Amino acid sequence: MWAWFHKLSSPKYYYEWAGKWLPWLAGITVILMVVGLYWGLVVAPTDYQQGESYRIIYIHVPSAWMSMFVYVVMAVAGFVALVWKTKISEIVVSECAVIGAMFTALALITGMLWGKPTWGTYWTWDARLTSELILLFLYFGVIALYSSIEDKRVAAKAASMLAVVGVVNIPIIHFSVTWWNSLHQPNMDIISENPSMDPSMLWPLLVMATAFKIYFVWLLFIRIRNEIISRERTTNWVRKLIAES
């Protein structure tokens, strides 16, 4: 097991290994997305309180989950990069930052589009939206730091450090924002997602959430492979690879 991890941290091996997975990941993502979309948009019943607009949660909730999940992945990779100095985990940090920022932005946009028909306004300072907004800032910080340092290995280490600091802070930020929110808008939480969802509505959500997760891995693998080629462009194996294709 340990030996396998060690092998995986070599860029060449990782490149080939991830390459084998790509078609499978693509296939599973597409199938799950199609199933989830059909189920969520057509099969699932209309919500008696919110009407059709509740269907936005099938992308809003998975995006929001992913926005946090990706941050944790990024921070764990950052920690590994700082302690064991493996090249692949450094790349994972910078690529996760971009993908995570996308999911966070999606969660915000879909959240706002859900808010208009539900609350009558695009933006409210509710705890969830505010936390997502701050999370987006944290992602932007990592991306900005990474792109302003020229030496990409140093940049990746700095970004890793920031990701680790961020992940320690996120629970504190989330707690403070929730607390702040309860202070100012005590009645806002009633119309958030129902904790006891009907199974006919819950299943499509779980399918979509899985689809998003697989999609993330797929996109991450593609981006990591690109970054490996870019960084290792002077090595023999990359040259051979390019010459052969």
Report 160-179 residues binding another protein (CB under 8 A).
Answer: 161-162, 164-166, 168-169, 172-173, 175-177, 179
Q: Taking the C-alpha atoms of 31, 37, 43 and 46 in order, what is their torsion angle to the nearest 10 degrees?
A: 160
Query: Which residue number, 168 or 190, has a Cβ lying nearer to another protein?
Result: 168
Place of tokens 């403070």: 176
* By CB under 8 A, residue 113 contacts another protein: yes
Tell me how many residues contact another protein (CB under 8 A).
71
* Residue among 28, 35, 76, 102 that touches another protein (CB under 8 A): 102
Stretch binding another protein (CB under 8 A), from 9-17, 67-75, 155-163, 189-197: 155-163
Single-letter code of the amino acid located at 42: V
Place of tokens 């499509």: 204
Cβ of 79: how many Cβ atoms within 10 Å? 17
Residues of span 185-244 touching another protein by CB under 8 A: 215, 218-219, 222-223, 225-226, 229-231, 233-234, 238-239, 242-243
* By CB under 8 A, residue 60 contacts another protein: yes
Name which of 175, 63, 190, 181 is nearest 119 in CA terms: 190
Query: Which residue number, 1 or 43, has a Cβ lying nearer to another protein?
Result: 43
Single-letter code of the amino acid located at 163: A
* By CB under 8 A, residue 63 contacts another protein: yes
Q: Give SS3 for 46.
A: coil
> Rounded to the nearest whole angstrom, what is the least distance from the CB of residue 109 to another protein in the complex?
5
* By CB under 8 A, residue 12 contacts another protein: no
> Rounded to the nearest whole angstrom, what is the least distance from the CB of residue 205 to another protein in the complex?
14
Is 27:21 a contact under the CB 8 Å cutoff?
Answer: no
Cβ of 176: how many Cβ atoms within 10 Å? 14
